[in-house]
Amino acid sequence: MSFGSRARAAMAAYGPACVGIDPHAELLAEWELPDSVEGLDRFASICVEAFAGHVAFVKPQSAFFERFGAQGVVILERTIQDLRHTGTLVVLDVKRGDIGSTAAAYADAYLDEDAPMAADAITVSPFLGFGSLQPFFDVAERNDAGVFVLALTSNKEGPEVQHALNGDTTVAGGMLSQLAALNAGQSPMGSFGAVVGATIGDVGEDLAINGPLLVPGFGAQGGTVNDIRRLFSSVIDNVIPSTSRGVLAEGPDVSALRDSVARVNSELVGS
């Protein structure tokens, strides 16, 4: 099954929410875990127990594992392997972007099914030009994986690039239209998505790309169910709201973590 098909099935089974797995120092402290490899290992194991087979998507943030060096990467690799093929899809947040053979190497590292760190999908940055992402799309297609392209992020610095005009079209609008072209004719939806923040406001861009929309900034970062309803009304079935702090604040208790994400999904489905 393509990533788009698997994503649609997972959303139908569990609800649309994506849980960010972000083991930053403050969160480890809240869970009374040391800011060390041992603490990271325990944190990751709890997240696997809580979310594998219980939510549609998880989004490990690679940087929070990489900061512990090689041992942290080993834990990330194992975490991905433990989560995959449980019914929960892994969107690895790596925001890679490069050109030529380097882009192809990144794509092989994260999207080739035989790679040790193979995920169901990854995030990529298009700002070396949309065409530079072609190796990611090629490897993803061969392996039934997905790619989420940064388009309209919610950080305050984003608009200086994303809202800039390229002729009559904004940079973000150009990215969205090219994603729509890649996903054209795919059913139930394409496998190439966009990252669009929940707090961007009404920017007037066409979000109908026939692909998944990964929407960070939901929950503790300020985005609400009403924001999602307002901003994404015409494409709501393709929206994957991502929340981290709001759910992970309930840890390290596994039942509390599951209950928290169940409440989030209930709110979203009710929207």
Active site residues: 95
Q: What does the alpha-carbon distance between residue 235 and residue 176 come to, in Å, rounded to a whole number? A: 13
Nearest alpha-carbon partner for 204 in 240, 162, 239, 241: 162
Q: What does the alpha-carbon distance between residue 73 and residue 117 come to, in Å, rounded to a whole number? A: 9
Nearest alpha-carbon partner for 72 in 118, 113, 39, 30: 39
**In contact, 123 and 195? CB cutoff 8 Å:** yes
A 10 A CB-CB count for 185 gives 6
Q: What does the alpha-carbon distance between residue 97 and residue 143 come to, in Å, rounded to a whole number? A: 19
